[in-house]
Structure 1
Amino acid sequence: MFIVMSLGGSILAGDLDAARFKTYAETITKIAEKHKLLLVVGGGVYARRYIEAARDIGADEVTGDFIGIDVTRINAKLLISALGKSAYPEVPTNYNEAAVAAESGKIVVMGGVLPGQTTDAVSAALSEYLGADLFLIPTSVDGIYSADPNVDKNAVKFKTMTSADLVKMSGETSLKAGSKSPIDPIACKLIERGGIRTIVLDGRNPENIFKIIEAEEKGPQKECDGTIITP
Structure 2
Amino acid sequence: MRLVIKAGGCLFPSGLDTDRIREFASVLKRLRRDGHSLIIVAGGGAGSRTYIKAARELGCGESFCDEVGIQFTRLNALLLISALGEDAYPVVPESVKELKDYCQSGRIVVMGGLQPGQSTNAVAAVAAEVYGAHMLINATDVDGVYTSDPKTHPDAERLTEVSVKRLLEIVVEEEASAGGYKLLDPPSVKIIARSRIPTIILNAEDSENIIRAVEGDRVGTRVTF
Q: Does the pair score TM above 0.5?
A: yes
**Could you report, residue by residue, the CA deviation over 1:167-218 in whole angstroms, capped at 9, with x for unpaired residues?**
2222211288x957611111011111111110000011211111211226xx
Distance 1:196 1:76, change over 3 A: same
Q: Secondary structure at the match of 1:142?
A: coil
Assess if the C-alpha contact under 8 Å between 1:73 and 1:112 holds in 2. yes
Taking the TM superposition and a 5 Å limit, the aligned residue runs for 1:179-198 are: 182-198=183-199
What TM-score do the two structures reach when normalised by structure 2?
A: 0.94
- Counterpart mapping for 1:102-141 below 5 A: 102-141=103-142
Task: Tell me the residue number matched to 2:219.
Answer: 225
Alpha-carbon shift at residue 20 of structure 1 (Å): 1.5
Alignment match, 1:219:
none
> How many residue pairs are counted as aligned between the two chains?
223
Asked if the contact 1:3–1:36 (Cα under 8 Å) also holds between the matched residues in 2, the reply is yes
* Match of residue 11 from structure 1: 10
Contact conserved, 1:175 with 1:183, CA < 8 A, in 2? no
Cross-structure match for 2:26: 26
Q: Is the 8 A contact 2:212 2:219 kept in 1?
A: no
Q: How does 1:65-214 map to 2 (within 5 A)?
A: 65-174=66-175, 182-214=183-215
Q: Which runs of 5+ in 2 are unaligned?
A: none
The alpha-carbon distance between structure 1 residues 156 and 179, as it changes in their structure 2 partners (threshold 3 A), is farther
- Alignment identity in percent? 39
Structure 1 residues without counterparts, runs of 5 or longer:
217-223
Q: Deviations over 1:38-88 (max 9, x none)?
A: 000001011100000000000001000000000000000010011000000
Q: Say whether the 8 Å CA contact 1:65–1:115 is kept in structure 2.
A: yes
Q: Partner residue of 2:48? A: 47
- Code of the residue aligned with 2:115 in structure 1: it is L
CA distance in 2, matches of 1:144, 1:60: 32
Structure 1 residues 180, 57: closer, same or farther in 2, change over 3 A?
closer
Q: Give TM-score, length-normalised by structure 1.
A: 0.92
Q: Return structure 1 stretches of 4+ with deviation > 4 angstroms.
A: 178-181
Over the residues paired in the alignment, what is the CA RMSD in angstroms?
Answer: 1.8
CA distance in 2, matches of 1:175, 1:75: 28
